[in-house]
Amino acid sequence: MALTVTIDLADLGTTPVELPELPQPTTDTLLLAHPPWHSSDPGPVAVVWLDRSRLVRLAFAFAVDRPQTGPIVVWPAGVPVTSTALAFAVGGLLTAQHPDAEVARVVCAARPPARRTRPTVQHDVRVEIDGQIDRLII
């Protein structure tokens, strides 16, 4: 059963969203909102298991070369399912804010395994789940 939460994100306000049900991976993973090939059926969230050294590089390659796959979630092993589902939902909200963007949104519920020189934008997110309010950085 999908969980509905309320996300409060700067510039977007408070929005109720349904979190996707995700399997717990045993290795580093990318989640794609849509398949990387052209398809009339968006289908389920695509899951790609990768070696950590290629995780962020491939996420950005998909974002630029296949923006229709986004939002894209970088999911390092060990990050909780609920946190990653929240990151996916935030990526969807950010994508909806700029639907004509030429590059897909890449998000992560934790510090992505990337060089510290790679620029990142952090979003302060307030979320309410079953009456509990929490803050996280996506």
**Per-residue pLDDT tens over the stretch 79-94:** 999 889 988 988 888 8
CA 29 to chain centre: 11
| pTM across the whole model | 0.82
Contacts of 13 (CB under 8 A, 6+ apart): none
Query: In which order are the strands placed within the sheet that holds 29-32?
Result: 46-49, 29-32, 72-75, 106-108
Identify the pLDDT of residue 46. 67
Q: Mean pLDDT, the chain, as a whole number?
A: 80
CA-nearest of 91, 102, 137, 132 to 5 is 132
User: 118 falls in which pLDDT band (50, 70, 90)?
Assistant: low
Which residues contact residue 12 at a Cβ distance below 8 angstroms, ignoring those fewer than 6 apart? 93, 97
